[in-house]
């Protein structure tokens, strides 16, 4: 029983962090209908920038975080403005290929700048494990979860109440109508890329703080993908719940089944769940149904 509880709670925490990265996908998809396959690399770049600020410039994390947010926003906005803006109106598959290409480019750039060796972060949080009843949690995981949760809640409030958020929702819904409401749709595209990059890179910092950073950190993006599909590509709430489901499933599968199968079940389990859920709900748990009228 304690093992079960331990696995569920730590899976829940991991899920919260996944949810933040999943937001990186959702924020961009919602406004622009583009699936950004470079989300994982945005994470990795964010983690490296934070690492550099901490280790080379010896800045405090309180300065490091805002600086990473600024850098990520700039990266996201630049990518949109310089690359994806020119892809407007092109077939979806071309746009997807562009984001896949972008992920390779970012990976290459990271290797050129930081090399391919593994680096671990200087300690950010108190090292003492957190003990909740019978459950013991690694401090990096616990504080990382808290941080991820704060960022996710801020984004949710932003989308629901702030002017930018409302304008982004309007843009996602109907671009023509958004224009005629006086919303600058192109600016909204840029902002949503900036937001997506911010969410991904903060997720990257948290993941990097738990397991260290190397250029292939971005491959975690592939693991996030089932979460996004599971929750429905355009739903923030879906990303959050999908994150928790995948985090818990993954942890339970890893804890109970991996010992019998030489490992690997942990990575497989989320995809099995994904396939089952999509069989029942093809648009994901919370996704918008697209009804085609003939």
Partner 1 sequence: MKILSIDDVSLAFGGLKVLSDVSFDVNQGEIFAIIGPNGAGKTSILNIISGFYRPEKGKVFFQGKDLSHVHADKRAAMGMGRTFQNIALYHGMSVLDNIKLGAHSHLKTGLLSSLWYWGSAHKEEMALRGKIENDIIDFLEIESIRKQPVSALAYGLQKRVELARALAMRPSLLLMDEPVAGMNAEETEDMARFILDIKEEHNITIVLIEHDMKMIMDISDRVLVLNFGEKLTQGSPEEVQKHPEVIKAYLGQKKAETKKNNQKKG
Should residue 134 be labelled a site residue for partner 1 when binding is judged by CB under 8 A? no
Q: Which residues contact 99 (CB under 8 A, 6 or more apart)?
A: 34, 35, 36, 37, 38, 84
Residue 81 engages partner 1 in binding (rule: CB under 8 A): no
Q: How far is the CB of 274 from partner 1 (least distance, A)?
A: 25
Size of the site for partner 1 (CB under 8 A): 23
Least distance from C-beta 246 to partner 1, angstroms?
25
Check binding of 162 to partner 1 (CB under 8 A): yes
Nearer to partner 1, 179 or 271 (CB): 179
User: Distance from CA of residue 35 to its chain's centroid?
Assistant: 12
Is the sign of the CA dihedral 55, 61, 62, 65 positive or negative? positive
Is 289 an interacting residue with respect to partner 1 (CB under 8 A)? no
**Interface map 168-187 toward partner 1 (x if CB under 8 A):** -xx--xx-xxxxxxxxxx--
CA 226, CA 280: separation in Å to the nearest integer? 15
156 scored as a contact of partner 1 (CB under 8 A): no
Spatial distance between the Cα atoms of 136 and 2, rounded to a whole number of angstroms: 10
Of 31, 34, 45, 167, the one binding partner 1 (CB under 8 A) is 167
Q: Show Cβ contacts of residue 98 under 8 Å, excluding neighbours closer than 6 positions.
A: 83, 84, 87
Question: 3-state DSSP: the chain helix, strand, coil percent, rounded to 5?
Answer: 75, 5, 20
- For residues 127 and 293, which CB has a smaller minimum distance to partner 1 in the complex? 293
Query: Contact positions toward partner 1, by CB under 8 A?
Result: 157-158, 161-164, 166-167, 169-170, 173-174, 176-185, 288
């Amino acid at each position: 029983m304690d093992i079960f509880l331990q696995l569920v709670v730590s899976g829940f925490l991991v899920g919260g962090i996944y949810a933040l990265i999943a937001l990186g996908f959702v924020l961009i998809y919602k406004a622009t209908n583009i699936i950004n396959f470079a989300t994982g690399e945005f994470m990795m770049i964010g983690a490296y920038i934070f690492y550099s600020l901490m280790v080379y410039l010896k800045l405090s994390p309180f300065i490091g975080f805002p600086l990473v947010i600024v850098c990520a926003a700039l990266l996201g906005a630049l990518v949109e403005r310089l690359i994806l803006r020119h892809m407007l109106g092109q077939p979806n598959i071309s746009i997807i290929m562009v984001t896949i290409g972008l992920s390779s480019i970012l990976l290459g750039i990271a290797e050129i700048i930081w090399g391919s060796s593994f680096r671990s972060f200087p300690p950010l949080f108190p090292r003492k494990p957190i003990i909740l009843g019978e459950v013991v949690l690694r401090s990096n995981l616990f504080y990382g979860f808290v941080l991820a949760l704060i960022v996710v809640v801020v984004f949710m409030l932003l989308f629901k109440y702030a002017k930018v958020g409302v304008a982004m929702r309007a843009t996602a819904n109907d671009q023509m109508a958004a224009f005629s409401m006086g919303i600058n749709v192109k600016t909204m595209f840029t902002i949503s890329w900036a937001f997506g990059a911010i969410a991904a890179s903060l997720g990257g910092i948290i993941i990097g703080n738990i397991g260290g950073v190397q250029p292939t950190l971005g491959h975690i993006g592939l693991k996030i993908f089932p979460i996004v599909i599971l929750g429905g590509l355009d739903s923030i709430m879906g990303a959050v719940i999908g994150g928790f489901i995948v985090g818990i499933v993954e942890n339970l599968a890893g804890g109970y089944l991996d010992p019998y199968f030489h490992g690997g079940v942990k990575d497989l389990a989320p995809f099995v769940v994904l396939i089952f859920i999509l069989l029942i709900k093809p648009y994901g748990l919370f996704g918008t149904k697209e009804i085609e009228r003939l």
